Amino acid sequence: MLWDENYITTALDAPIQETLPLPTPSVAVNHIVNSQRSVWSKVINLELCDRSCLSSLMANINFIRKLLPAGLKKDGKVVNFGAASQFISLPIDIQLDQCSVILSYKLTPLGSAYDLLMCRQDGCRGLSEQTVAAIFSRALLCVEYLHAKDILHRELCAKHLLLTEDESNDQDLRIILCGLGSIAYFSPPGVNVGRNDLPSIDYSWRGWNVKDFGTIYGHPIAWKGPEVVAQDFTGYSWPSDIYSLGLILAELFNGEPPYAGLHPTVIALKKMSGAEVPALSKPGSNDAPSQEMLDIYGACTHPDPNKRPSATVLLQMPWVQWGLQQQFDRIRLEREKNGCSDSSMANLSTKFEKVL
């Protein structure tokens, strides 16, 4: 089972239409930021969680603890995550304080890819194709890492792509994945057969009712693959994460969440009825996507999960390789915030050929 009966109506962000149901505040989850320590914490009140929530939360914490490397703690806190820190954001501390569980994470000053979208100062929507390729390709490296560890993320979206400094190259930025509240171990290793017995996704302790900017309507179901929404006997597998990556590509380029403004029930019906995914477009802009980008988008969001490429295969594609070679630093972020797009978009095919 993917979610409980209340999923569709309780996990809403802020709708842009007043006629849509407003969310119930998530009083079970609070977020605390300590700027002096460069740490932010998620505080979950266990007294406000039902049995299902507690079971889901404890299972997730146990999973996270298994990902933490042994013997790397100092004063009760993790000081080094090893290779995992290059791809995923793990808690530096997990505490039980009376009736609350506190998960503490390093504060990321640069924010997420979603924050970058919201920082545009020119009123234009979406990022340039170069920046989209740079972010998408680096996120793909993280997904490949998780899949190699037999782990499904299941909650990929722009909000869960953190921008952080690359410790090995101070001139470059990296993408690491957060939002690990729905990760699941997919066993047995190496099997690509869909499963319908994966742990359900429980949002009540995840804080999905938090409103961001009050203008964006983005429900988690918008990034889910049709096979995940269907919850049928076929189940789902690695291609579900690839589908979510495809919609992230659209989110970054279009400048808005997929299916923006639609009620979650309508989104679910569209997905299950085989409706086309949102087009890559920027109304009023001449920034059209290249054919190579359209091909990647179409491959990732193919309605048949078995026809979607794996993360490893995608990483070998010229457009993705081109994205990995793009400059991705604070200068590029500032250019995007100021609405300055690169002007060298006329002949992308030549650039892709150079990658090969």
**Amino acid at residue number 90:** L
Those residues whose C-beta lies under 8 Å from the C-beta of residue 235, and which sit 6 or more positions away, are: 193, 194, 195, 196, 197, 198, 227
83: pLDDT strictly greater than 80? no
Contact predicate 54/96, CB 8 Å: no
Q: Which residue has the tokens 């892709």?
A: 352
* pLDDT digits 0-9 by tens, 225-247: 999 888 777 788 899 999 999 99
Within a 13 Å sphere around the CA of 268, how many CA atoms are in the beta-carbon half?
A: 15
Whole-number percent of the chain with pLDDT over 70: 73
- Each residue's pLDDT tens digit, 284-333: 677 889 999 999 999 999 999 999 999 999 999 999 999 999 989 888 88
Give the pLDDT of residue 56.
82
Integer CA distances (angstroms), 16 to 4, 157, 191, 263, 270, in order: 25, 19, 42, 10, 19
**CA neighbor of 113 nearest in space, from 154, 145, 160, 174:** 160
* Least confident span in 7-21, 32-46, 63-77, 270-284: 7-21
Instruction: Report the C-alpha gap between 56 and 255 in whole angstroms.
Output: 33
DSSP letter (8 states) at residue 323: H
pLDDT of residue 144: 95
- Mean pLDDT of all residues in 198-209: 57
Average pLDDT over residues 139-155: 93
HSE-up of 206 (CA within 13 Å, CB side)? Answer: 21
pLDDT on residue 80: 52
Q: Do the Cβ atoms of 247 and 121 come closer than 8 Å?
A: no
Q: Quick one: pLDDT at residue 47? A: 85
Peptide bond into 283 cis (omega under 30): no
CB-CB neighbours of 126 under 10 Å: 23
Work out the average pLDDT over 109-125: 81
Whole-number pLDDT of residue 137: 97
Tokens describing residue 353: 């050929």
Taken in order of first residue, the domains within the chain and their CATH numbers are 109-355 (1.10.510.10)
pTM score: 0.82
55, two tokens: 């079971």
Please name which of 40, 181, 165, 180 lies closest in space to residue 110, comparing C-alpha atoms: 165
Residue-level pLDDT at 349: 42
- pLDDT above 80 for 170: no
Instruction: Return the number of other C-beta atoms located less than 10 Å from residue 258's C-beta.
Output: 23
Which pLDDT score is estimated for 69? 64
Round to whole Å and give the CA distance between 109 and 106.
Answer: 9
Query: How does pLDDT run across 328-349, given as a tens digit for each residue?
Result: 988 888 888 887 655 444 444 4
